[in-house]
Structure 1
Amino acid sequence: MLNARSTADEWMDEADATEPAFRGALRDLERINRITLAYRPTLQWLDRLVRETGATELSVLDVGAGGGDMLRAVHRWAARRGVRVRLTGLDRSPWSASFAQAAGTPAEWITQDLFDLDPARRFDAVICSLFAHHLPDPVLVRFLRWLEARAERGWMICDLHRHPIPWAAVWAGVRLFRMDPMVIHDSTVSIARGFVRADWERVLAKAGVRAEVRWALPFRWTVSAIRDAG
Protein backbone atom coordinates (compact mmCIF):
# COMPACT_ATOMS: atom_id res chain seq x y z
CA MET A 1 0.00 0.00 0.00
CA LEU A 2 3.06 2.27 0.26
CA ASN A 3 4.30 1.77 -3.28
CA ALA A 4 2.92 5.15 -4.37
CA ARG A 5 1.73 8.29 -2.59
CA SER A 6 -1.70 7.84 -1.04
CA THR A 7 -4.57 10.12 -2.00
CA ALA A 8 -6.53 9.40 1.20
CA ASP A 9 -7.94 12.44 2.99
CA GLU A 10 -6.67 13.72 6.33
CA TRP A 11 -9.27 14.88 8.82
CA MET A 12 -7.22 17.99 9.59
CA ASP A 13 -7.74 19.19 6.02
CA GLU A 14 -11.52 19.06 6.22
CA ALA A 15 -13.24 22.45 6.27
CA ASP A 16 -15.72 21.37 8.96
CA ALA A 17 -13.06 20.46 11.54
CA THR A 18 -14.15 22.06 14.82
CA GLU A 19 -11.94 24.26 16.97
CA PRO A 20 -11.82 21.81 19.93
CA ALA A 21 -10.85 18.93 17.63
CA PHE A 22 -8.24 21.03 15.84
CA ARG A 23 -6.83 22.35 19.11
CA GLY A 24 -6.47 18.83 20.50
CA ALA A 25 -4.73 17.68 17.34
CA LEU A 26 -2.29 20.61 17.35
CA ARG A 27 -1.40 19.93 20.97
CA ASP A 28 -0.58 16.29 20.23
CA LEU A 29 1.24 17.14 17.00
CA GLU A 30 3.57 19.36 18.98
CA ARG A 31 4.25 16.42 21.29
CA ILE A 32 5.07 14.25 18.29
CA ASN A 33 7.33 16.93 16.84
CA ARG A 34 9.32 17.10 20.06
CA ILE A 35 9.58 13.33 20.40
CA THR A 36 10.65 12.81 16.77
CA LEU A 37 13.12 15.74 16.67
CA ALA A 38 11.08 17.33 13.90
CA TYR A 39 12.55 20.82 14.41
CA ARG A 40 16.17 19.77 14.00
CA PRO A 41 16.40 19.55 10.17
CA THR A 42 14.89 23.01 9.73
CA LEU A 43 17.11 24.60 12.38
CA GLN A 44 20.19 22.94 10.88
CA TRP A 45 19.22 24.33 7.49
CA LEU A 46 18.83 27.81 8.97
CA ASP A 47 22.32 27.45 10.45
CA ARG A 48 23.59 26.62 6.98
CA LEU A 49 21.67 29.50 5.39
CA VAL A 50 23.18 32.01 7.80
CA ARG A 51 26.64 30.55 7.36
CA GLU A 52 26.54 30.53 3.56
CA THR A 53 24.85 33.91 3.05
CA GLY A 54 26.31 35.83 5.98
CA ALA A 55 22.84 37.00 7.01
CA THR A 56 22.52 38.54 10.47
CA GLU A 57 18.77 39.13 10.21
CA LEU A 58 16.07 37.17 8.45
CA SER A 59 12.41 37.43 7.63
CA VAL A 60 11.06 33.88 7.89
CA LEU A 61 7.74 32.55 6.61
CA ASP A 62 6.48 29.20 7.86
CA VAL A 63 3.95 27.70 5.41
CA GLY A 64 1.39 25.39 6.98
CA ALA A 65 2.46 26.71 10.36
CA GLY A 66 -0.21 24.86 12.35
CA GLY A 67 0.05 25.74 16.03
CA GLY A 68 3.25 27.77 15.63
CA ASP A 69 5.60 25.37 17.41
CA MET A 70 8.16 25.49 14.58
CA LEU A 71 8.19 29.27 14.70
CA ARG A 72 8.71 29.17 18.44
CA ALA A 73 11.67 26.84 17.85
CA VAL A 74 13.04 29.25 15.23
CA HIS A 75 12.67 32.13 17.69
CA ARG A 76 14.72 30.22 20.29
CA TRP A 77 17.31 29.31 17.63
CA ALA A 78 17.65 32.95 16.59
CA ALA A 79 18.13 34.08 20.19
CA ARG A 80 20.93 31.53 20.65
CA ARG A 81 22.62 32.49 17.36
CA GLY A 82 22.26 36.24 17.73
CA VAL A 83 20.21 36.47 14.53
CA ARG A 84 17.40 39.01 14.36
CA VAL A 85 14.25 37.47 12.93
CA ARG A 86 10.85 38.65 11.78
CA LEU A 87 8.57 35.64 11.85
CA THR A 88 5.37 35.03 9.93
CA GLY A 89 3.07 32.02 10.09
CA LEU A 90 0.74 31.11 7.24
CA ASP A 91 -2.07 28.59 7.63
CA ARG A 92 -5.51 28.47 6.09
CA SER A 93 -7.16 27.04 9.21
CA PRO A 94 -9.02 29.69 11.20
CA TRP A 95 -8.09 27.85 14.39
CA SER A 96 -4.32 27.98 13.90
CA ALA A 97 -3.91 31.67 14.65
CA SER A 98 -5.73 31.55 18.00
CA PHE A 99 -3.82 28.45 19.10
CA ALA A 100 -0.46 29.95 18.08
CA GLN A 101 -1.19 33.26 19.78
CA ALA A 102 -2.31 31.54 22.98
CA ALA A 103 0.94 29.60 22.97
CA GLY A 104 2.93 32.84 22.78
CA THR A 105 4.20 32.50 19.21
CA PRO A 106 6.15 35.71 18.43
CA ALA A 107 4.97 36.03 14.84
CA GLU A 108 2.65 37.81 12.47
CA TRP A 109 -0.10 35.43 11.43
CA ILE A 110 -1.78 35.12 8.02
CA THR A 111 -4.94 33.03 7.71
CA GLN A 112 -5.45 32.20 4.04
CA ASP A 113 -4.55 29.76 1.31
CA LEU A 114 -0.89 30.08 0.41
CA PHE A 115 -1.66 30.75 -3.26
CA ASP A 116 -3.83 33.73 -2.25
CA LEU A 117 -0.96 35.47 -0.49
CA ASP A 118 -0.25 38.99 -1.78
CA PRO A 119 2.15 38.51 -4.74
CA ALA A 120 4.27 41.40 -3.46
CA ARG A 121 5.15 39.59 -0.22
CA ARG A 122 8.71 38.25 -0.17
CA PHE A 123 10.71 36.69 2.65
CA ASP A 124 14.38 35.94 3.17
CA ALA A 125 13.61 32.34 4.06
CA VAL A 126 10.51 30.22 3.54
CA ILE A 127 10.24 27.01 5.55
CA CYS A 128 7.70 24.23 5.33
CA SER A 129 7.79 21.33 7.78
CA LEU A 130 5.44 18.36 7.48
CA PHE A 131 3.04 20.22 5.23
CA ALA A 132 4.00 19.26 1.67
CA HIS A 133 2.57 15.75 1.99
CA HIS A 134 -0.89 17.34 2.19
CA LEU A 135 -0.50 18.44 -1.44
CA PRO A 136 -1.17 16.18 -4.44
CA ASP A 137 1.59 16.16 -7.04
CA PRO A 138 0.14 18.83 -9.39
CA VAL A 139 -0.32 21.25 -6.48
CA LEU A 140 3.12 20.36 -5.12
CA VAL A 141 4.65 21.30 -8.49
CA ARG A 142 2.90 24.67 -8.26
CA PHE A 143 4.08 25.07 -4.66
CA LEU A 144 7.72 24.49 -5.61
CA ARG A 145 7.50 27.29 -8.17
CA TRP A 146 5.78 29.45 -5.55
CA LEU A 147 8.68 28.87 -3.15
CA GLU A 148 11.18 29.91 -5.79
CA ALA A 149 9.28 33.15 -6.31
CA ARG A 150 8.77 33.98 -2.62
CA ALA A 151 12.16 33.23 -1.05
CA GLU A 152 14.92 35.81 -1.46
CA ARG A 153 17.72 33.83 0.20
CA GLY A 154 16.41 30.29 0.32
CA TRP A 155 13.62 27.84 1.04
CA MET A 156 13.36 24.49 2.69
CA ILE A 157 10.81 21.66 2.86
CA CYS A 158 11.07 18.90 5.45
CA ASP A 159 8.65 16.03 5.12
CA LEU A 160 8.00 12.37 5.72
CA HIS A 161 9.65 9.34 4.17
CA ARG A 162 7.07 6.82 3.00
CA HIS A 163 8.14 3.47 4.46
CA PRO A 164 6.61 0.60 6.51
CA ILE A 165 8.89 1.16 9.51
CA PRO A 166 7.73 4.71 10.40
CA TRP A 167 4.18 3.76 9.44
CA ALA A 168 4.16 0.91 11.97
CA ALA A 169 5.99 2.93 14.64
CA VAL A 170 3.54 5.82 14.37
CA TRP A 171 0.52 3.50 14.29
CA ALA A 172 1.62 2.00 17.60
CA GLY A 173 2.89 5.21 19.19
CA VAL A 174 -0.21 7.36 18.79
CA ARG A 175 -2.31 4.60 20.32
CA LEU A 176 0.14 3.91 23.13
CA PHE A 177 0.14 7.58 24.14
CA ARG A 178 -3.65 7.84 23.65
CA MET A 179 -3.45 10.78 21.33
CA ASP A 180 -6.27 12.80 19.83
CA PRO A 181 -8.55 10.85 17.41
CA MET A 182 -7.67 13.22 14.57
CA VAL A 183 -3.97 12.52 15.12
CA ILE A 184 -4.58 8.77 15.32
CA HIS A 185 -6.35 8.88 11.96
CA ASP A 186 -4.08 11.35 10.18
CA SER A 187 -0.69 10.11 11.39
CA THR A 188 -0.45 6.99 9.26
CA VAL A 189 -2.30 8.67 6.39
CA SER A 190 0.41 11.33 6.46
CA ILE A 191 3.15 8.75 6.08
CA ALA A 192 1.25 7.05 3.27
CA ARG A 193 1.03 10.46 1.58
CA GLY A 194 4.76 10.97 2.14
CA PHE A 195 7.67 10.64 -0.24
CA VAL A 196 10.57 8.60 -1.48
CA ARG A 197 13.51 10.24 -3.28
CA ALA A 198 12.08 9.39 -6.70
CA ASP A 199 8.92 11.34 -5.86
CA TRP A 200 10.93 14.47 -5.15
CA GLU A 201 13.07 14.05 -8.24
CA ARG A 202 9.92 13.70 -10.35
CA VAL A 203 8.08 16.76 -9.01
CA LEU A 204 11.19 18.95 -9.06
CA ALA A 205 11.77 18.04 -12.71
CA LYS A 206 8.13 18.77 -13.52
CA ALA A 207 8.36 22.14 -11.76
CA GLY A 208 11.64 23.01 -13.45
CA VAL A 209 13.14 23.79 -10.04
CA ARG A 210 16.68 22.99 -8.94
CA ALA A 211 17.00 21.92 -5.33
CA GLU A 212 19.03 19.67 -3.07
CA VAL A 213 17.31 16.53 -1.77
CA ARG A 214 18.78 15.14 1.45
CA TRP A 215 17.93 12.35 3.85
CA ALA A 216 17.31 13.46 7.45
CA LEU A 217 16.80 11.40 10.57
CA PRO A 218 14.39 10.04 11.56
CA PHE A 219 12.73 9.04 8.27
CA ARG A 220 12.57 12.50 6.74
CA TRP A 221 13.49 14.19 3.46
CA THR A 222 14.67 17.75 3.16
CA VAL A 223 14.37 19.60 -0.12
CA SER A 224 16.05 22.99 -0.21
CA ALA A 225 17.68 25.78 -2.16
CA ILE A 226 19.95 28.55 -0.93
CA ARG A 227 20.93 31.67 -2.84
CA ASP A 228 22.88 34.70 -1.69
CA ALA A 229 20.56 37.64 -2.12
CA GLY A 230 22.93 39.96 -0.29
Structure 2
Amino acid sequence: MARSWLRARSDEAERMDDAAQGEAAFRSALRDLEFLNRISFGYRPTLRWLDRLVARTGVRSLSVLDVGAGGGDMLRRIDHWGRARGVAVALTGLDRSPAAAAAARAAGTPGAWITADLFDLPGDARYDVIVSALFTHHLPDADLVRFLRWMERHARHGWMINDLHRHAMPWIGLWLGTRLMRLDPMVVHDSTISVARAFTRRDWRRLTAEAGTPARIAWQLPFRWAICTEGKA
Protein backbone atom coordinates (compact mmCIF):
# COMPACT_ATOMS: atom_id res chain seq x y z
CA MET A 1 0.00 0.00 0.00
CA ALA A 2 2.76 2.46 0.98
CA ARG A 3 4.59 1.86 -2.28
CA SER A 4 1.58 2.83 -4.42
CA TRP A 5 0.67 5.63 -1.99
CA LEU A 6 4.03 7.37 -2.62
CA ARG A 7 4.53 6.16 -6.18
CA ALA A 8 4.11 9.67 -7.65
CA ARG A 9 4.98 13.09 -6.26
CA SER A 10 2.29 14.85 -4.28
CA ASP A 11 1.17 18.35 -5.20
CA GLU A 12 -0.30 19.09 -1.77
CA ALA A 13 0.63 22.57 -0.56
CA GLU A 14 2.94 23.19 2.38
CA ARG A 15 2.00 25.85 4.90
CA MET A 16 5.49 27.32 4.73
CA ASP A 17 4.83 28.30 1.12
CA ASP A 18 1.79 30.33 2.14
CA ALA A 19 2.66 34.04 2.11
CA ALA A 20 -0.11 34.66 4.63
CA GLN A 21 1.87 32.93 7.39
CA GLY A 22 3.05 35.51 9.91
CA GLU A 23 6.70 36.21 10.65
CA ALA A 24 6.51 34.79 14.17
CA ALA A 25 5.02 31.51 12.92
CA PHE A 26 7.58 31.29 10.13
CA ARG A 27 10.49 31.91 12.50
CA SER A 28 9.23 29.29 14.96
CA ALA A 29 9.00 26.72 12.17
CA LEU A 30 12.50 27.56 10.92
CA ARG A 31 13.96 26.97 14.38
CA ASP A 32 12.49 23.47 14.50
CA LEU A 33 13.55 22.75 10.92
CA GLU A 34 17.11 23.65 11.87
CA PHE A 35 16.84 21.24 14.80
CA LEU A 36 15.66 18.45 12.47
CA ASN A 37 18.47 19.17 10.02
CA ARG A 38 21.01 19.01 12.82
CA ILE A 39 19.88 15.71 14.30
CA SER A 40 19.49 14.10 10.85
CA PHE A 41 22.95 15.23 9.61
CA GLY A 42 21.19 17.27 6.94
CA TYR A 43 24.07 19.71 6.42
CA ARG A 44 26.70 17.03 5.84
CA PRO A 45 26.05 16.30 2.12
CA THR A 46 26.50 19.96 1.14
CA LEU A 47 29.62 20.48 3.25
CA ARG A 48 31.23 17.27 1.95
CA TRP A 49 30.52 18.41 -1.61
CA LEU A 50 32.25 21.72 -0.88
CA ASP A 51 35.23 19.78 0.48
CA ARG A 52 35.48 17.81 -2.76
CA LEU A 53 35.09 20.89 -4.92
CA VAL A 54 37.83 22.79 -3.10
CA ALA A 55 40.15 19.78 -3.22
CA ARG A 56 39.55 19.38 -6.96
CA THR A 57 39.78 23.03 -8.01
CA GLY A 58 42.27 24.32 -5.45
CA VAL A 59 40.29 27.53 -4.93
CA ARG A 60 40.76 29.38 -1.63
CA SER A 61 37.81 31.71 -1.99
CA LEU A 62 34.23 31.06 -3.07
CA SER A 63 31.12 33.11 -3.70
CA VAL A 64 28.16 30.99 -2.60
CA LEU A 65 24.48 31.45 -3.39
CA ASP A 66 22.02 29.45 -1.27
CA VAL A 67 18.65 29.24 -3.06
CA GLY A 68 15.63 28.83 -0.82
CA ALA A 69 17.83 29.76 2.12
CA GLY A 70 15.04 29.93 4.70
CA GLY A 71 16.45 31.15 8.01
CA GLY A 72 20.05 30.98 6.81
CA ASP A 73 21.09 27.89 8.77
CA MET A 74 22.96 26.36 5.82
CA LEU A 75 24.82 29.62 5.23
CA ARG A 76 25.88 29.68 8.87
CA ARG A 77 27.25 26.15 8.52
CA ILE A 78 29.11 27.11 5.34
CA ASP A 79 30.59 30.14 7.09
CA HIS A 80 31.88 27.86 9.85
CA TRP A 81 33.16 25.38 7.24
CA GLY A 82 35.09 28.13 5.43
CA ARG A 83 36.69 29.42 8.63
CA ALA A 84 37.75 25.92 9.65
CA ARG A 85 39.38 25.23 6.26
CA GLY A 86 40.85 28.61 5.50
CA VAL A 87 38.50 29.21 2.57
CA ALA A 88 37.14 32.73 2.25
CA VAL A 89 33.42 32.57 1.52
CA ALA A 90 31.24 35.40 0.23
CA LEU A 91 27.74 34.27 1.13
CA THR A 92 24.39 35.23 -0.36
CA GLY A 93 21.01 33.89 0.69
CA LEU A 94 18.05 33.95 -1.67
CA ASP A 95 14.47 33.41 -0.56
CA ARG A 96 11.27 34.96 -1.84
CA SER A 97 9.76 35.25 1.66
CA PRO A 98 10.44 38.52 3.54
CA ALA A 99 10.02 36.52 6.76
CA ALA A 100 13.06 34.44 5.80
CA ALA A 101 15.25 37.52 5.55
CA ALA A 102 14.10 38.73 8.96
CA ALA A 103 14.71 35.30 10.53
CA ALA A 104 18.17 35.04 8.95
CA ARG A 105 19.18 38.48 10.23
CA ALA A 106 17.86 37.71 13.71
CA ALA A 107 19.94 34.52 13.79
CA GLY A 108 23.12 36.40 12.85
CA THR A 109 23.48 34.90 9.37
CA PRO A 110 26.52 36.41 7.64
CA GLY A 111 26.59 37.71 4.09
CA ALA A 112 24.13 39.36 1.74
CA TRP A 113 20.46 38.57 1.30
CA ILE A 114 18.11 38.76 -1.67
CA THR A 115 14.34 38.61 -1.27
CA ALA A 116 13.09 37.63 -4.72
CA ASP A 117 12.05 34.79 -6.96
CA LEU A 118 15.22 33.14 -8.27
CA PHE A 119 14.11 33.48 -11.89
CA ASP A 120 13.88 37.25 -11.43
CA LEU A 121 17.63 37.57 -10.80
CA PRO A 122 19.61 39.40 -13.51
CA GLY A 123 20.69 37.19 -16.37
CA ASP A 124 24.34 38.06 -15.82
CA ALA A 125 24.36 37.08 -12.12
CA ARG A 126 27.19 34.62 -11.46
CA TYR A 127 28.37 32.76 -8.36
CA ASP A 128 31.22 30.31 -7.91
CA VAL A 129 28.83 27.75 -6.47
CA ILE A 130 25.07 27.51 -6.05
CA VAL A 131 23.56 25.27 -3.38
CA SER A 132 20.05 24.45 -2.23
CA ALA A 133 18.80 22.27 0.60
CA LEU A 134 15.20 21.09 1.07
CA PHE A 135 14.15 23.51 -1.65
CA THR A 136 13.58 21.58 -4.85
CA HIS A 137 10.69 19.51 -3.52
CA HIS A 138 8.71 22.76 -3.33
CA LEU A 139 8.90 23.07 -7.14
CA PRO A 140 6.69 21.42 -9.76
CA ASP A 141 8.65 19.34 -12.27
CA ALA A 142 8.67 22.01 -14.99
CA ASP A 143 10.10 24.64 -12.65
CA LEU A 144 12.68 22.18 -11.35
CA VAL A 145 13.91 21.50 -14.88
CA ARG A 146 14.14 25.25 -15.37
CA PHE A 147 16.06 25.56 -12.08
CA LEU A 148 18.60 22.90 -13.12
CA ARG A 149 19.30 24.79 -16.34
CA TRP A 150 19.46 28.06 -14.42
CA MET A 151 22.13 26.73 -12.05
CA GLU A 152 24.16 25.36 -14.95
CA ARG A 153 24.25 28.87 -16.45
CA HIS A 154 24.87 30.83 -13.25
CA ALA A 155 27.41 28.65 -11.35
CA ARG A 156 31.08 29.00 -12.33
CA HIS A 157 32.47 25.95 -10.52
CA GLY A 158 29.42 23.81 -9.81
CA TRP A 159 26.09 23.40 -8.07
CA MET A 160 24.59 21.09 -5.50
CA ILE A 161 21.05 20.07 -4.51
CA ASN A 162 20.45 18.41 -1.12
CA ASP A 163 16.90 17.11 -0.76
CA LEU A 164 14.67 14.33 0.53
CA HIS A 165 13.92 10.84 -0.78
CA ARG A 166 10.27 9.92 -1.26
CA HIS A 167 9.71 6.76 0.74
CA ALA A 168 7.37 5.42 3.42
CA MET A 169 10.07 5.11 6.08
CA PRO A 170 10.96 8.82 6.37
CA TRP A 171 7.26 9.68 6.02
CA ILE A 172 6.37 7.48 8.99
CA GLY A 173 9.43 8.57 10.96
CA LEU A 174 8.59 12.24 10.56
CA TRP A 175 4.91 11.71 11.28
CA LEU A 176 5.78 10.07 14.59
CA GLY A 177 8.90 12.05 15.47
CA THR A 178 7.54 15.55 14.96
CA ARG A 179 4.57 14.72 17.17
CA LEU A 180 6.54 12.95 19.90
CA MET A 181 8.97 15.88 20.06
CA ARG A 182 6.07 18.35 19.99
CA LEU A 183 7.59 20.41 17.24
CA ASP A 184 6.08 23.51 15.70
CA PRO A 185 2.62 22.85 14.17
CA MET A 186 3.76 24.06 10.76
CA VAL A 187 6.67 21.60 10.84
CA VAL A 188 4.37 18.78 11.94
CA HIS A 189 2.03 19.55 9.04
CA ASP A 190 4.68 20.12 6.37
CA SER A 191 7.19 17.40 7.23
CA THR A 192 5.31 14.47 5.72
CA ILE A 193 4.08 16.58 2.80
CA SER A 194 7.74 17.40 2.05
CA VAL A 195 8.53 13.68 1.82
CA ALA A 196 5.48 13.08 -0.38
CA ARG A 197 6.58 15.93 -2.69
CA ALA A 198 10.17 14.65 -2.83
CA PHE A 199 12.04 12.55 -5.39
CA THR A 200 13.33 9.09 -6.13
CA ARG A 201 16.45 8.24 -8.13
CA ARG A 202 14.23 7.55 -11.16
CA ASP A 203 12.73 11.04 -10.83
CA TRP A 204 16.16 12.64 -10.71
CA ARG A 205 17.41 10.70 -13.72
CA ARG A 206 14.37 11.78 -15.73
CA LEU A 207 14.51 15.43 -14.66
CA THR A 208 18.25 15.93 -15.16
CA ALA A 209 17.98 14.26 -18.57
CA GLU A 210 15.10 16.57 -19.50
CA ALA A 211 17.12 19.58 -18.37
CA GLY A 212 20.19 18.39 -20.28
CA THR A 213 22.36 18.94 -17.21
CA PRO A 214 25.04 16.33 -16.51
CA ALA A 215 24.92 15.61 -12.80
CA ARG A 216 25.99 13.09 -10.20
CA ILE A 217 23.06 11.52 -8.33
CA ALA A 218 24.22 10.14 -4.99
CA TRP A 219 22.34 8.53 -2.10
CA GLN A 220 22.88 10.16 1.29
CA LEU A 221 21.98 8.74 4.69
CA PRO A 222 19.40 9.05 6.00
CA PHE A 223 16.95 9.18 3.07
CA ARG A 224 18.38 12.06 1.06
CA TRP A 225 19.75 12.68 -2.40
CA ALA A 226 22.71 14.80 -3.42
CA ILE A 227 22.43 16.00 -7.03
CA CYS A 228 25.51 17.88 -8.09
CA THR A 229 28.14 18.75 -10.62
CA GLU A 230 31.59 17.85 -9.44
CA GLY A 231 33.41 21.04 -10.34
CA LYS A 232 34.06 23.02 -13.49
CA ALA A 233 37.48 24.27 -14.49
TM-score range, shorter chain: over 0.9
Does 2:83 correspond to 1:79?
Answer: yes
Provide, for residues 186-215 of structure 1, a one-character-per-residue CA deviation record: whole Å limited to 9, x for no partner.
Answer: 000000001110000011111111101000
- Superposition deviation, residue 216 in structure 1: 0.5
Does 2:43 correspond to 1:39?
Answer: yes
Contact 2:14 2:194 in 1 (8 A): yes
Runs of 4+ in 1 over 3 A off after TM superposition: none
Which is further off, 15-24 or 40-49?
15-24
**1:226 corresponds to which of 221, 225, 230:** 230
Name the CA distance, whole Å, in 2 between partners of 1:201 and 1:182. 31
1:50 matched residue in structure 2:
54
2:131 matched residue in structure 1:
127
Name the CA distance, whole Å, in 2 between partners of 1:182 and 1:118. 33
User: What is the root-mean-square deviation in Å for CA atoms of aligned residues?
Assistant: 0.7
Residue identity in the other structure for 1:225: T
Contact 2:216 2:230 in 1 (8 A): no
**2:100 corresponds to which of 81, 96, 103:** 96
2:203 matched residue in structure 1:
199
Residue identity in the other structure for 2:49: W
Count of equivalent residues? 229
Provide, for residues 47-68 of structure 1, a one-character-per-residue CA deviation record: whole Å limited to 9, x for no partner.
Answer: 0010111111000000000000
- Superposition deviation, residue 227 in structure 1: 3.2
SS in 1 for 2:137: helix
Does 2:172 correspond to 1:168?
Answer: yes
Name the CA distance, whole Å, in 2 between partners of 1:226 and 1:107. 25
Identity of aligned residues (%): 60
Which ranges in structure 2 are unaligned for 5 or more consecutive residues? none
SS in 1 for 2:9: coil
Residue identity in the other structure for 1:124: D
Residue identity in the other structure for 1:71: L
1:22 matched residue in structure 2:
26
Residue identity in the other structure for 2:118: L
Which ranges in structure 1 are unaligned for 5 or more consecutive residues? none
2:190 matched residue in structure 1:
186
- Superposition deviation, residue 17 in structure 1: 1.2
1:62 matched residue in structure 2:
66
- Superposition deviation, residue 228 in structure 1: 3.1
SS in 1 for 2:100: helix
- Superposition deviation, residue 108 in structure 1: 0.2
Residue identity in the other structure for 1:24: S
Does 2:223 correspond to 1:216?
Answer: no
- Superposition deviation, residue 79 in structure 1: 0.5
Residue identity in the other structure for 2:140: P
Residue identity in the other structure for 1:41: P
Name the CA distance, whole Å, in 1 between partners of 2:206 and 2:98. 33
Name the CA distance, whole Å, in 2 between partners of 1:98 and 1:18. 12
Residue identity in the other structure for 2:150: W
Residue identity in the other structure for 1:182: M
Name the CA distance, whole Å, in 1 between partners of 2:21 and 2:115. 15
Provide, for residues 51-109 of structure 1, a one-character-per-residue CA deviation record: whole Å limited to 9, x for no partner.
Answer: 11111100000000000000000000001100000000000001011111111111100
Residue identity in the other structure for 2:39: I
Name the CA distance, whole Å, in 2 between partners of 1:90 and 1:25. 18
Name the CA distance, whole Å, in 2 between partners of 1:9 and 1:96. 18
